[in-house]
Structure 1
Amino acid sequence: MSPTRFPFWLASVLVLLASALAGWLAWTTTLDRLLDETARRGDNVLQLAVSALAGQLDRYERLPSLIAEQTVIRQLAADPENPVLRAQVNGYLERIQGQLGASDIYLMDARGETVAASNHATPTSFVGGNFAFRPYFSDAIKGGLGRFYALGTTSGKRGYYFGAPVHVGETIAGVLVFKIDLDAIEETWRGGDYAVLVADPDGVIFLSSRPDWLFQALAPLGEDALARITETRRYAERVVIPADVTEDRVYLGQHVLRLAGVEFLQRDLPMPEAEWQVHVLIETAPARQGALNLAAVAMLSVGLLSLLAGILWQRRLRMSERLSIQAQARAELERRVAERTAELRQAQADLVQAGKLAALGQMSAALSHEFNQPLAAARNFADNAGVLMDRGRMEEARGNIDRILGLIDRMSSISSHLRSFARKPGQKLSAVDLSEVIDASRAIAELRIAAAQAVLVMHLPEDLPPVVAGPVRLQQVLVNLLTNAADAVEGRATRRIDLCAEVEGDMVVIRIDDSGEGVPEAVRDRIFDPFFSTKGVGRGLGLGLSISYNIVKDFGGDIEVTDAPGGGARFTLRLRQGVEAAAVSRAAE
């Protein structure tokens, strides 16, 4: 069917729609993939950040309890007004503070008043300060482990506080506080293309790789949250303000946050023991730009392809009539080729049969001699048998009759082999008894061999395995080779033909040597071509070896011609060893 013409405006609209659709698909699929890759990168950063924080907290968690068990600590907790003990504990805390890498270590009595501190000699000493409002004190004075992150009311420095109860006998006489600094971890987060935030239970950012985001709430604070912050003085005198969050939603399966006018992909991971929420924010702009670039490429590609398709369509319109004529001509040509192919296949089958009949024609003279001799002998034996019977010599007459029967059997065997050779073969391969096929081939070719006054010498092992072949077609190959050998040695001083077979690996190799002139090396490549012959005019069609070659190849074997060791030609057949006929049977043609 010839192509139809589209209006230009309709084609333009379709191209624009296709470009827009391709751009949208490229945008969404690419952005989804890039955001997913960004999320996986954020998860890796998040795991590293949480691991660093957890490792820092775990490192110091047990130290407050160990320090609280020291004798001098317990003595001062029992007698907080003792100036000697205060001086000893101040010096002790100052020494271990430097050794353990703590920010501050101090001891509070049961009322929350600090009685000794590692910073006792500094202007911002905690000694005398009361921190009973801190949760780490209230939790520890009840016998638990106090944990709290806050901005120091005295030092103004951020830190994480561990509080451990100090036991004096059966009572809790005070609280040992161990403060650590997390600023070093925060410093490692800076400089990347991502932001790491740590928020308290109320959503207030107290650790951040972006300093300008500190002490901002990711969500509006309720009255209860403001009351807790005020009561615990978590951020001292700092005023907590809402972060500039203008968008917080799920987009393409990812949590997207717009903070300070910049869109981020947000990944979160809680730290339950510290009651923190760790966030990693990665800008989505690179992902959106990558998706936009690919969408532009997709739209441009669709446009260019549409332009190319339009050009090709116009050319097709111009060539449609020519193509239609060519199609009709091609159909007519294919019909004729099919007819010729069928004729050639029939001709090939006829040539195969003709080759066999030609071989039979060449053996006709020998056949006549072979049949005339037994017939003449049988006539003589019959005449003699009649005379012997008239004379009553029955045993001798019976011997003549047995000889006549033997001659008849020989002629029947020759006739049977010839009928088998002349008929068209079957089309299946099977496991063929090679010895039987060689014997039948010898019986047929024996007449031509005898006519050439040649000697056939065979070397066949008793345990010769079967081969994969068709018995009639393999017989045809062997008869062709044996009669060719007879032709080659006819008229020579030495007229000898050798046939041997042996097993080589998984193949059975048959070699037929003659004492003729051999095949010149210059024509060996053409020896298996149809209608090529080295014999004289009128001595064959030049089809025997070509037919034999195709038959052997069809068996999955090989045939080649080389020089025989003693001079003359050697034809070598290689056939696959046979297995059970049912296992190897298959269509040959």
Structure 2
Amino acid sequence: MTSSRLQRWVAALFSVGVMLPLLWLTATWSEQQSLQYLERKGAEHLRHYTRQLVNMLNGYEVLPGILAEDDRVRDLLRARTGTPLQVRAANDYLERLAGDLPDSVIYLMDPQGWTLAASNWRSPSSFVGKNYGFRSYFRQVLSGHPSRYVAKGITSNVLGYYLGARVMEGERVLGVVMLKLNLAEATLSSDGDVDVLVADHHGVVFMASQADWLFRLLQSLEARIQEQIVRDRQFEGASLQALAVARQAWSDTTALVDLTVTPTSTRRYMVQAALLPENGWQVQTLIRLDRVWQEQWHALLLVGLGGLAVLLVLLYLLQRYGDRRVLREATVTDALTGLYNRHYLVNTDSMLLQRYHRGPVNGTAVVIFGIDAFARVNQIYGHSVGNKVLLAVADALRGELRVGDVPIRLDGDRFMAVLAVHPGDDVRPMAERMRRRVQALRFEGGLRALVLTVSAGIAYYRPPEAMDRLIGRATERLREAQEHGDVVVAPTLDEECVEVSL
């Protein structure tokens, strides 16, 4: 794998490693922000619906008690079975009272539960003559307890809220006066993505913005309560199936609920609830969370596109850097051997000398190798073989150098090594090993008889001379070595130069 391709892979993996946590943080942050906003929105709607419901009910709470003190009501209940004129007068009176109470019915019941008069006496579903003594609200009122009862009408099949008061004459119970508010007309509507429902103290939903939720249960009921509801015919005809929900607490006042909307699909809601202590009702607002997921996806899309843009810019910069690096390496690298070339020294000569200047006298040595009789190799075997020879010598030079030493192909058949040395170091053993390594090279095919030798010239750096001067001294010693034949010429610290026969 090339260096530039490796860099691109590293950049891509780095970007993925950064983007995945960033996307997770974005999704989490977006979800939290959206849920907090919806929680505030749900709380506002909950206060609105609760206040609206309480105001509606409070306007009727005292009316049964006022009617229980009415003399005309007492007169009819005292007579129990009055004359037709008395009953007609009572019906007319109740009808006039109910005229100011839209969608409501006022009726009088004797202690046995028979309805003696009712404001809806003209209706085909009149309560007059009906016995509702089996209803819980009647028994509660008759025993002196307040009635706040929700049920479907037995006669009218209309959902109502039943308020009542006991009519007394001294210690004697004459009967009860009841007020039924028509809840079927008090519909709740969705407000955008906000739904609302109201459930009684047993958890039976009797008002809801979604018709499918009516007469469903928020929680399972005990068997005795179910039997009581059936006995009272409270929600006659309703299946009272539980709403299938999976609840997860999100805060002290809010829960996230998965509610089954069809047998094969669910929808997630944010649910907030308020309790009406007077009657035990529970008002709930349910906010659909589809918008949360949409905003979450939008945030992820924006961050993802931003991350992709950053990755593309990073890859572009790496490509530019890689191209410049490749161009630079091509400029300072020998195309055949892969070693540095003379151009490399143009910009790095002073750096190399300073880099290796570790002692007060000598810190750098230069060894220049020349292939003996290389021109004859080209003449006899051709330039392709000459190139093989150059490659083999370059590999041999690499094998002899330490980490940090710099191999260079100067030109033609000349190679150079820039070495780091300490005072007292002798470079000649390295040059001798190089010569023996080259002489041991063997080639395949018709080149078996080809034996190579190299000569070397060594020079130590003497501050503050320039690199050209240092190379010039090493070149002179190489020339001297080649004139003597297969030798290494090198100076010592005390001598100008010494000829060493190999």
TM-score, with structure 2 as normaliser? 0.59
- Superposed counterparts of 1:183-582, under 5 Å: 183-187=184-188, 189-190=189-190, 192-243=192-243, 245-251=244-250, 254-259=254-259, 260=261, 261-313=266-318, 315=320
Query: Could you tell me how far apart the structure 2 residues matched to 1:304 and 1:190 are?
Result: 42
Query: Could you tell me how far apart the structure 2 residues matched to 1:134 and 1:268 are?
Result: 29
Query: Could you tell me how far apart the structure 2 residues matched to 1:82 and 1:185 are?
Result: 36
What is the Cα deviation at residue 195 of structure 1?
A: 1.2
Query: Could you tell me how far apart the structure 2 residues matched to 1:61 and 1:52 are?
Result: 15
Query: Could you tell me how far apart the structure 1 residues matched to 2:242 and 2:51 are?
Result: 28
Give the aligned partner of residue 118 of structure 1: 119
What is the Cα deviation at residue 294 of structure 1?
A: 0.4
Amino acid at match of 2:174: A
What is the Cα deviation at residue 317 of structure 1?
A: 6.8
Could you list the per-position Cα deviations for residues 182-231 of structure 1 after superposition, in whole angstroms to 9, with x for gaps in the alignment? 344325x2463321111112222110111122111133333133123113
Given that 1:72 and 1:85 are in contact with CA atoms closer than 8 Å, whether structure 2 keeps it comes out as: no
Given that 1:77 and 1:168 are in contact with CA atoms closer than 8 Å, whether structure 2 keeps it comes out as: no
Higher helix share: 1
Give the aligned partner of residue 97 of structure 2: 96
Could you list the per-position Cα deviations for residues 248-300 of structure 1 after superposition, in whole angstroms to 9, with x for gaps in the alignment? 22358851222212221111111111211111111101111111110121122
Query: Could you tell me how far apart the structure 1 residues matched to 2:90 and 2:237 are?
Result: 30
Query: Could you tell me how far apart the structure 2 residues matched to 1:215 and 1:99 are?
Result: 30
Q: Residues 185, 81 of structure 1: CA spacing in aligned structure 2 closer, same or farther, 3 A cutoff?
A: closer
Amino acid at match of 2:49: A
Q: Tell which structure's C-alpha radius of gyration is larger.
A: 1
CA RMSD of aligned residues (A): 2.8
What is the Cα deviation at residue 319 of structure 1?
A: 7.5
What is the Cα deviation at residue 133 of structure 1?
A: 2.5
Amino acid at match of 1:97: A
Q: Residues 246, 68 of structure 1: CA spacing in aligned structure 2 closer, same or farther, 3 A cutoff?
A: closer
Amino acid at match of 2:13: V
Could you list the per-position Cα deviations for residues 532-581 of structure 1 after superposition, in whole angstroms to 9, with x for gaps in the alignment? xxxxxxxxxxxxxxxxxxxxxxxxxxxxxxxxxxxxxxxxxxxxxxxxxx
Could you list the per-position Cα deviations for residues 341-382 of structure 1 after superposition, in whole angstroms to 9, with x for gaps in the alignment? xxxxxxxxxxxxxxxxxxxxxxxxxxxxxxxxxxxxxxxxxx
Structure 2 SS opposite 1:156: coil
Give the aligned partner of residue 78 of structure 1: 78
Query: Could you tell me how far apart the structure 2 residues matched to 1:113 and 1:153 are?
Result: 14
Query: Could you tell me how far apart the structure 1 residues matched to 2:142 and 2:233 are?
Result: 19
What is the Cα deviation at residue 33 of structure 1?
A: 0.6
| Aligned pairs, number | 322
The unaligned stretches of length 5 or more in structure 2 are: 329-346, 351-502
Q: Residues 155, 186 of structure 1: CA spacing in aligned structure 2 closer, same or farther, 3 A cutoff?
A: same
Give the aligned partner of residue 127 of structure 1: 128
Could you list the per-position Cα deviations for residues 379-410 of structure 1 after superposition, in whole angstroms to 9, with x for gaps in the alignment? xxxxxxxxxxxxxxxxxxxxxxxxxxxxxxxx
Given that 2:42 and 2:287 are in contact with CA atoms closer than 8 Å, whether structure 1 keeps it comes out as: yes
Query: Could you tell me how far apart the structure 2 residues matched to 1:182 and 1:197 are?
Result: 13
What is the Cα deviation at residue 242 of structure 1?
A: 2.2
Give the aligned partner of residue 34 of structure 2: 34
Structure 1 SS opposite 2:279: coil
Q: Residues 252, 288 of structure 1: CA spacing in aligned structure 2 closer, same or farther, 3 A cutoff?
A: farther
Could you list the per-position Cα deviations for residues 448-497 of structure 1 after superposition, in whole angstroms to 9, with x for gaps in the alignment? xxxxxxxxxxxxxxxxxxxxxxxxxxxxxxxxxxxxxxxxxxxxxxxxxx
Structure 2 SS opposite 1:216: coil
Given that 1:256 and 1:263 are in contact with CA atoms closer than 8 Å, whether structure 2 keeps it comes out as: yes
Query: Could you tell me how far apart the structure 2 residues matched to 1:147 and 1:57 are?
Result: 10
Amino acid at match of 1:249: Q
Amino acid at match of 1:237: G
Given that 2:110 and 2:174 are in contact with CA atoms closer than 8 Å, whether structure 1 keeps it comes out as: yes
What is the Cα deviation at residue 175 of structure 1?
A: 0.7
What is the Cα deviation at residue 61 of structure 1?
A: 0.6
Query: Could you tell me how far apart the structure 2 residues matched to 1:280 and 1:289 are?
Result: 21
Query: Could you tell me how far apart the structure 2 residues matched to 1:16 and 1:256 are?
Result: 32
Query: Could you tell me how far apart the structure 1 residues matched to 2:41 and 2:179 are?
Result: 35
Could you list the per-position Cα deviations for residues 69-124 of structure 1 after superposition, in whole angstroms to 9, with x for gaps in the alignment? 11011112222112243222111111111123251110011111111111122221
Could you list the per-position Cα deviations for residues 9-60 of structure 1 after superposition, in whole angstroms to 9, with x for gaps in the alignment? 3332221222222111111110111111112111111111111110010001
Give the aligned partner of residue 369 of structure 1: none
Given that 1:119 and 1:125 are in contact with CA atoms closer than 8 Å, whether structure 2 keeps it comes out as: yes
Structure 1 SS opposite 2:306: helix
What is the Cα deviation at residue 238 of structure 1?
A: 2.5
TM-score, with structure 1 as normaliser? 0.51
Given that 1:32 and 1:252 are in contact with CA atoms closer than 8 Å, whether structure 2 keeps it comes out as: no
Query: Could you tell me how far apart the structure 2 residues matched to 1:27 and 1:304 are?
Result: 19
Given that 1:150 and 1:235 are in contact with CA atoms closer than 8 Å, whether structure 2 keeps it comes out as: yes
Given that 1:194 and 1:281 are in contact with CA atoms closer than 8 Å, whether structure 2 keeps it comes out as: yes
Amino acid at match of 1:130: N
What is the Cα deviation at residue 132 of structure 1?
A: 2.1
The unaligned stretches of length 5 or more in structure 1 are: 329-589
What is the Cα deviation at residue 181 of structure 1?
A: 1.9
- Superposed counterparts of 1:132-151, under 5 Å: 132-151=133-152
Query: Could you tell me how far apart the structure 1 residues matched to 2:61 and 2:121 are?
Result: 23
Identity in percent:
31
Could you list the per-position Cα deviations for residues 314-359 of structure 1 after superposition, in whole angstroms to 9, with x for gaps in the alignment? 55677899xxx9xx9xxxxxxxxxxxxxxxxxxxxxxxxxxxxxxx
Q: Residues 102, 186 of structure 1: CA spacing in aligned structure 2 closer, same or farther, 3 A cutoff?
A: closer
Structure 2 SS opposite 1:133: coil
What is the Cα deviation at residue 247 of structure 1?
A: 2.6
Could you list the per-position Cα deviations for residues 151-192 of structure 1 after superposition, in whole angstroms to 9, with x for gaps in the alignment? 1111100111101110112222111001112344325x2463
Structure 1 SS opposite 2:18: helix
Query: Could you tell me how far apart the structure 1 residues matched to 2:101 and 2:250 are?
Result: 47
Given that 1:161 and 1:178 are in contact with CA atoms closer than 8 Å, whether structure 2 keeps it comes out as: yes
Q: Residues 119, 111 of structure 1: CA spacing in aligned structure 2 closer, same or farther, 3 A cutoff?
A: same
